[in-house]
Amino acid sequence: MERDSRIFIAGARGLVGSAVVRRLRQEGYDNLLAPTRDQLDLTRQSAVDAFFERERPDYVFLVAGKVGGIHANSTYPADFIRDNLLIQALVIDAAHRFGARKLLDLGSSCIYPRLAPQPMTEDCLLTSALEPTNEWYAIAKIAGLKMCQAFHRQYGFRAISLMPTNLYGPGDNFDLKNSHVLPAMLRKFHDAKASGASEVVLWGTGSPRREFLYVDDLADACLFAMQTYEGEQLLNVGTGEDLAIRELAERVAEVTGFTGRITWDSSMPDGTPRKLLDVSRIHALGWKAKTDLPDGIRLTYQWFLENKTNISSNIVS
């Protein structure tokens, strides 16, 4: 990408999109197209086509989508599959038709089978059944990466796909009903400490193992791949290290200063037993994550404290 290239970040106000914008600006890319959801509804073809026809972006970072944890996926399955299918189909197709030079599509490690061999290589895709608690989102994301491959094969369109592991960082969603595990923990432990509660109850058994990637590291990987990668095969993006959810809870409690009891509600679902990505392929290309988990949790909590008045009115001060 040239410094004056027209670069469209679809989902620029979200967790990943805002990190991509930060990273691009750090590198001197200033000709950024970053419309808000109110300015551009990515689920409406007429709006997407009009935007691409008017703005003619050279490069597209497709990082928009409807995301959430187990509760959100279980409660809104139709929303998750509909919105993500629409966004991907409309943006990828318009990028090709209106002459974009390259597109990067972002998926999720939940596209892999529930019981895939660990760590999961890119070749695990579609080898067995998905995790039921997020299959609607996973199916939509699989369709997106397959659409990129199809456009690559049929039209020679330079569309690439990255599959990141669990993300967290500045700009995350801390809503207790719809957020992912790490920001939800930060919020729970913060509220418990602030209110003087002696106990925090968490879902499941705490035994599943998860890998976590700081969102600014993902943004760095996105820029790296956009500049250097042309393959049709998807690329895993992660740290290559995981830990038990129980251990994560202890680390988050320490960062927030909560010293009470942690109770696990085993009547609630755990989700996939383990999700660890094999990141040897992107490592071989020359990219590695830079932020370790303890530093990332501290940075995320610092951002939460600085912005909590704007996040939600019911956060305990």
**Active-site entry in 137, 214, 229, 301:** 137
Structural domain harbouring 29: 7-173+211-242+275-291
Summary mean pLDDT of the chain: 94
- Predicted confidence band of residue 315 (pLDDT cuts 50, 70, 90): low
- Predicted confidence band of residue 253 (pLDDT cuts 50, 70, 90): very high
- The answer to which of 127-131, 156-160, 208-212, 270-274 has the lowest mean pLDDT is 270-274
The pLDDT of residue 270 is 86
What is each CA distance from 234 to 142, 145, 148, 213, in whole angstroms? 11, 7, 10, 18
> What whole-number percentage of the chain has pLDDT above 90?
85
Mean pLDDT of 102-109: 95
Residue for token digits 């001060």? 317
3-class DSSP assignment, residue 265: strand
Judge whether residue 317 has pLDDT over 60: no
The DSSP element (H or E) to which 188 belongs, if any, is helix 181-195
Number of structural domains found in the chain: 1
Judge whether residue 153 has pLDDT over 50: yes
Q: What is the CATH number of the domain that holds 217?
A: 3.40.50.720
Q: What is the DSSP string of 112-143?
A: S-TT--SSBPGGGTTSSPPPGGGHHHHHHHHH
Binding-site residue ranges = 11-17, 106-109, 141, 164-167, 180, 188, 203, 210, 270
Binding-site residue ranges for NADP(+) = 11-17, 106-109, 141, 164-167, 180
pLDDT in tens, 8-19: 999 999 999 999
Judge whether residue 130 has pLDDT over 60: yes
Mean pLDDT of 74-100: 96
The pLDDT of residue 259 is 96
Nearest alpha-carbon partner for 8 in 100, 73, 119? 100
The pLDDT of residue 70 is 74
The answer to whether residue 137 is catalytic is: yes
Q: Is residue 195 part of a domain?
A: no
Task: Retrieve residue 316's tokens.
Answer: 């305990």
Mean pLDDT of 142-167: 97
pLDDT in tens, 189-245: 999 999 999 999 999 999 999 999 999 999 999 999 999 999 999 999 999 999 999
Q: Is residue 190 part of a domain?
A: no
Provide the strand spans (E) within the chain.
Answer: 7-10, 32-33, 59-62, 102-106, 159-164, 166-168, 199-203, 209-210, 212-214, 235-237, 243-244, 261-265, 274-275
pLDDT in tens, 173-188: 898 877 789 999 999 9
Q: Is residue 314 part of a domain?
A: no
The pLDDT of residue 175 is 86
pLDDT in tens, 29-46: 999 999 999 999 999 999
Mean pLDDT of 123-128: 96
- Predicted confidence band of residue 312 (pLDDT cuts 50, 70, 90): low
Q: Is residue 153 part of a domain?
A: yes
C-alpha dihedral sign at 133, 138, 140, 141? positive
Q: Is residue 262 part of a domain?
A: no
User: Which residues are within 8 A (CB) of 90 and not within 5 positions of it... i.e. 6 or more apart?
Assistant: 42, 43, 44, 45, 48, 49
Rounded to a whole number, what is the distance in angstroms from the first to the last CA of the chain? Answer: 44
CA distance 72 to 49: 30
- Predicted confidence band of residue 300 (pLDDT cuts 50, 70, 90): very high
The pLDDT of residue 313 is 47
